[in-house]
């Protein structure tokens, strides 16, 4: 589905901003969003966002490739 791919891309972009921001001193969750994450979750939040985004992107891609494969198959005569 196109929606899964779009959500996956957006989540990976947020994860990239979170990851780069953590090295530059920008706190995405605490400063920008206003959510105080526990220390353990805060350390790995960007990686979690990237992985979930990647999984959603792949889930959307696999459904599209299955639909394309079904359309290209021709009946045996």
Distance CA 12, CA 26 (A): 17
As to burial, measured by CB atoms within 10 angstroms (0-12 exposed, 13-18 middle, 19+ buried), residue 72 is exposed
Q: Per residue of the chain (77 residues), what is the pLDDT tens digit?
A: 789 999 999 999 999 999 998 899 888 888 888 888 888 888 899 999 999 999 999 998 865 455 555 556 656 65
DSSP codes, 34-47: -----HHHHHHHHH
Q: Tell me which residue of 48, 66, 67, 60 sits closest to 7, measured CA to CA.
A: 60
């Amino acid at each position: 589905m196109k929606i899964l791919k779009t959500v996956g891309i957006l989540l990976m972009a947020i994860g990239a901003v979170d990851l780069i921001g953590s090295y530059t001193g920008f706190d995405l969750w605490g400063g920008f969003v206003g959510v105080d994450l526990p220390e353990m979750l805060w350390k790995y939040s960007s990686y979690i966002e990237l992985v979930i985004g990647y999984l959603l992107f792949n889930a959307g891609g696999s459904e599209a490739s299955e639909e394309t494969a079904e359309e290209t198959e021709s009946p045996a005569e």
